[in-house]
Amino acid sequence: MSYSNSLKAALVLSGALLMSQGAYAQDFPEKPIDVTVWASAGGGTDTTNRFLAEAMQKHLGGKVNVSNRTGGGGGIAMNHVWNQPHDGYTWLGASEAMQVVKVMGYHETGTQDWRWYMVAGAPGVISVHPDSEFETLDDLIEAARENPNSVRVGHCAIGCVWHMRAIALGQAADVELNYIPFDGSSPAHMAGLTREVDAVVSGVAEQTEFLKAGKLRALGMIEMEPFDFPELGEIPAAGVKYPRIQEIPAVQWLGMAIPADTPADIIAEIDEAFEKAMEDPKIKALAEERMFSLYGEYGEEAETRLQAMENAMSWKLFEMGVATTSPDTVGIAKP
């Protein structure tokens, strides 16, 4: 075959490949998409992903199914998603807990290995059973001061944002709390309702229904600012008396992720569906009902924000002795 004919054949083959890729994206999805949520059903991560899946499937034109794989601080779900073909058909139902899996030894990948879609988040609150002996946050702190490790505080997995906010409160108040981890906020709430724990720390958005129903009673926001809860009035800020809580950088975000090496044309389809989903009335209604702040960040914007969070949270967990792996040994830069 002459050089000219070889070149023509190569161009034809390249064009065919490009056309097939374009057709693949145009036909996406050709089968149901599976979202694997790392946390238990009923919590903020789970609920957000179920609403997001419903909104996105309208624009993708295919079914988006949601299931839960708990355990391992999110590592079990991440391993499952990562080990599937990186073809856009398996998504991770994610949260800020994913930013510490590498330093905690739960999963081998880090923030830069995924493409993130940040839907929403909320400030943290510490609450108790309505019949609790603790009428105020000061009561809880004094009990912990008198009997170190006696006050049991439930939260999501070790290293998650609410674990870190609980630690922030304990360190800021200079008391030793007994931190009890669960596979997500939902089982932590159940432990608070049954008094398996003395207090529970999670997002005010996740506790909304329990606070409104009087099944949990808020003691304070583990933040620097109070929170105006429409039905209950103002929830005071722990940071007013214990300003050192801001020394531990941890902010909630809820959303999803896909492997970063997913084909670019498929990523473009998912990006577009996510943008449209963030305008969905049901997503906005969820945010209003649960008192979420909507983010709508994805791609480079989300990665930049979450990479900074991974760096800060990983080093803080290591310095506190919670993480035994030094972040610099797994490629996480010190802030």
Provide the token pair at 297.
């960040």
Strand-pair partners of 177: none
Q: Which residue is associated with the tokens 């179920």?
A: 50
Q: Are 31-121+252-330 and 124-247 equal in CATH topology?
A: yes
Tens of pLDDT, residue by residue, the chain (335 residues): 443 454 444 444 444 444 444 444 568 999 999 999 999 998 889 999 999 999 999 999 999 999 999 999 999 999 999 999 999 999 999 999 999 999 999 999 999 999 999 999 999 999 999 999 999 999 999 999 999 999 999 999 888 899 999 999 999 999 999 999 998 899 999 999 999 999 999 999 999 999 999 999 999 999 999 999 988 999 999 999 999 998 887 889 999 999 999 999 999 999 999 999 999 999 999 999 889 999 999 999 999 999 999 999 999 899 988 898 999 999 999 98
Cβ atoms of 184 and 71 within 8 Å: the answer is no
CATH of 124-247, one of 3.40.50.460, 3.90.1150.10, 3.40.190.10, 3.30.160.100: 3.40.190.10
In the chain, where the domains are located: 31-121+252-330, 124-247
Kindly give, in sequence order, each residue whose CB lies less than 8 Å from that of residue 56, ignoring residues fewer than 6 positions away: 64, 270, 273, 274, 276, 277
Question: Which tokens is 294 given?
Answer: 């909507």
Alpha-carbon distance 146 to 214, whole Å? Answer: 28
* CATH architecture of the domain formed by 31-121+252-330: 3-Layer(aba) Sandwich (3.40)
On whether the CB atoms of residues 48 and 120 are closer than 8 A, the answer is yes
Q: Which residues of 216-249 are buried (b: 16+ CB within 10 A; e: fewer)?
A: bbbbbbbbeebbebeeeeebbbbbeebeebeebb
**The whole model's pTM is what?**
0.81
Following DSSP, what letter does each residue of 116-169 receive, concatenated? EEEEEE--EEEEE-TT-S--SHHHHHHHHHHSTT-SEEEESSTTSHHHHHHHHH
